[in-house]
Chains A and B, each alone.
Chain A
Amino acid sequence: MEDPNGNAIIKAVILIGGPQKGTRFRPLSLDVPKPLTPVAGYPLVQHLIESCIHVPSVKEVLILGYYPADEITPFISEIGPLYSSIKIRYLQEYTRLGTAGGIYHFRDQIRAGLSNTSCFILINGDVCGDFPLSEMLEFHSIKRDIPALLTVLATEATRQQSSNSNFGCIVEDKNSHRITHYVEKPETFVSTLINCGVYICSLDLFPCISKIFSQRQANYYAGEIQDNNGDCWESIALEKDIITPSVGNTGCVYVYRSNRMWSQVKTAGSAIYANRHYLALYRERQPERLANSRCKTRNTPCKIIGDVFIHQTAQIDPTCVIGPNVSIGKNVVVGPGVRIKESIILGDSVIQDHSLVMYTIVGWNGMIGKWTRVEGTPCDPNPNKPFAKMDNVPLFNDEGKLNPSITILGCHVRVPSEVVVLNSIVLPYKELSRSFSNEIIL
């Protein structure tokens, strides 16, 4: 099928996983599925949807995951009307099927309406960034002796980060950009070129997965494989099961390099980083989303520094100083003389007079008293190292001490007046009664 301009229709698939995933995003993911956590004012998955919508030939976005449908569909119905030119649907996996297993399970829904020569966009839900999808599509369709089965978006990382089991590492043929070697999360150095989790897939991918599926099924019936780790035998990983065997000099997997903004969003700390980068993208492409101190007509009569998102229903006192890199959600109330920087304040929270909030995520319905200081430590990539990526630092260091991180207040947390909360993680519904530093507060 073609759109009215004669371009082949394509679809986009976003894999959001399920409730057993995203645990490093706690305590925020305890209450709201991680993909629905707002960053720069909009849920993480909505940013991914929007990046697909910017590609004109995309007519449908399919969201795949194993969250119960009632957790995701209200969000889909809410945002649907905003994007009238495309359809958005949630398809629920009955169990964890893996990156390739999920799309295989829903192959009919994905293929429906696409011509045989068409392709689809596949995005892993735990990344964020400015993806060059149109350029990737163009690159994918280049006429080649061996047509591309898959195009993998890749970016440069540091040597150290690419060899500590965080990323899929790629070796390419410099002329053809064919992937000649691929290792998922190697423990030693393979390459500084890493997989961004964003792909263009030809429909020929399905027969490939089908082969693996049939093989697995045969083995399963022969009693040769058992379900392990809660992953059923149908769980198929795109990286390990498809890309790794399909690379080589005669392979059909290509790489598209980009050094635009990209990051994994695994830990809540990376949400602060993602927040900053999405706000910077607004400045470039959707400045109307940013609060602007020069624009007095919007609800931002206070002093704004740098990029700031303020939901139109939020009430901010004129004596506040907000920014840089702050997102303030729905119905938030910020009292006089408050300073907020490098933070995300989620909906219905209240921050009272003279308080300071920095490098912090305040969960929904949070309450911060007067003259209170809520502060975290940024865990941004080292700005002095080119291509450095967000490190997914574990919560505790080798000595068993909490690594300094951003401060996260779960939903409905109350912080009293005049205390300091430093580098701490507070679980939902907790009423603090004193100051805390470097603690997880149950």
Chain B
Amino acid sequence: MKSSESSSIGNMKALILVGGYGTRLRPLTLFRPKPLVEFANKPILVHQLDALVAAGVTQVGITLIFSHETEPLGTAGPLALAREILSSNPEPFFVLNADITCEFPFKEMVQFHKGHGKEGTIVVTRVEEPSKYGVVVCAEDGMIQRFVEKPQEFVSNKINAGMYIFNPSILDRIEVKPTSIEKEIFPAMADSGNLYAFELQGYWMDIGQPKDFLVGMCLHLTSLKAKGAKLATGDGIVGNVLVIGPNCRIGPNVTIGPDVIIEEGVCIKRSTIMKGSKIKSHSWLDSSIVGWNCVIGKWVRMENVTVLGEDVIVSDEVYINGGKVLPHKAISASVPEPQIIM
């Protein structure tokens, strides 16, 4: 006998909104869709799929929205497109933004949503500087009272975390014309007391930009460790085939993809090394993202959110400070100031 809760989540569907061209994460996303870029060694999309599967969700729709990146957190359009599928049963469904990382508490979200019994639940997260965002003002029970864009004075420190549960009835609120769910639908739902805020525990980060991608990675790894996940310690094997030479210092907060070779005396901190890359001896990397199949020479220094696209070759002894290097480039001279290398 299944419990009523798990059987109902089993019937739930999820719609994942993956952004358009992912321009903010370039050069990683120049030739590769953002959802397939590995975050902590797993494609961004797969983190959510895994969490949904773990929560018992059976059907997931993925939609691509080509929107202006100034409004990263989705629009209502895809919901209208998926109307038939989403309204095929009366169960509520998930709508998830693909660009975020957190612990994905889907079961708890469902519990909360069913607990208040209204039309929609928005996951909110606390931020330190709410004035940079649109904030959500809600009552103690979570009922949302209003939304305030970039508040000058403190009204709330909770912001929309980009994860929602809706009853199919929300679809009646959406017309076929382009609609911003955040700006048009949510305020109307809040006015009628139909929208509740579920406060996220633990970490949250929008990983749509390289700088935040690295912050998110650190948070993700810290959370994995806190949950008792076995992270690599010392010289060892991470991923499929990883060679780490002697006298290296890897970490803290580093993810290394499969088939990566790290030679002797390399120091890597707060960075992601994607599949198939090679870091030669005595190099030093901090706060950098090395794309797929790159080769980093000896005594190279990379820092300050340097991002290398696929198949970038960096010569020995080069210094890259905050460079964004497009795929298939060979870098033979230092880049001492942040810039884009076409």
Contacts and interface: CB of A to CB of B under 8 A. Distances in A.
A420 B336 CA distance: 10
Interface string A343-365: 00000000001101010000000
A311 to B, nearest CB: 23
Interface in A317-370: 319, 336-339, 341, 353-354, 356, 358, 370
B317 A422 contact: no
A420 B334 CA distance: 13
A47 interface: no
Contacts, number: 48
Contacts of A420: 301, 303, 319, 321
A436 to B, nearest CB: 12
A371 interface: yes
B298 A339 contact: yes
A402 to B, nearest CB: 13
A373 interface: yes
B299 interface: yes
B34 interface: no
Interface size class of A (residues with CB under 8 A): 10 to 19
A336 B245 CA distance: 14
Nearest to B281: A337
A356 B247 contact: no
A373 B298 CA distance: 12
A35 B222 CA distance: 57
Interface in B311-342: 317, 319, 321, 334, 336
A336 B317 contact: no
A25 B317 CA distance: 28
Contacts of B247: 336-337, 353-354
Interface string B256-287: 00000000110100000000000001101010
A373 B301 contact: yes
B284 A422 contact: no
Contacts of A371: 267, 282, 284
A341 B299 CA distance: 12
A373 B303 CA distance: 12
B265 A354 contact: yes
Listed from nearest, the 6 A-B pairs whose CB atoms lie closest are A337-B265, A354-B282, A371-B284, A356-B299, A337-B282, A339-B299
Interface of A: 319, 336-339, 341, 353-354, 356, 358, 370-371, 373, 375, 418, 420, 422, 437
Interface of B: 247, 264-265, 267, 281-282, 284, 286, 298-299, 301, 303, 317, 319, 321, 334, 336
Given A339-B282, A354-B282, A373-B299, 8 more contacts: A337-B264, A337-B281, A338-B282, A339-B298, A341-B317, A373-B319, A418-B284, A420-B303
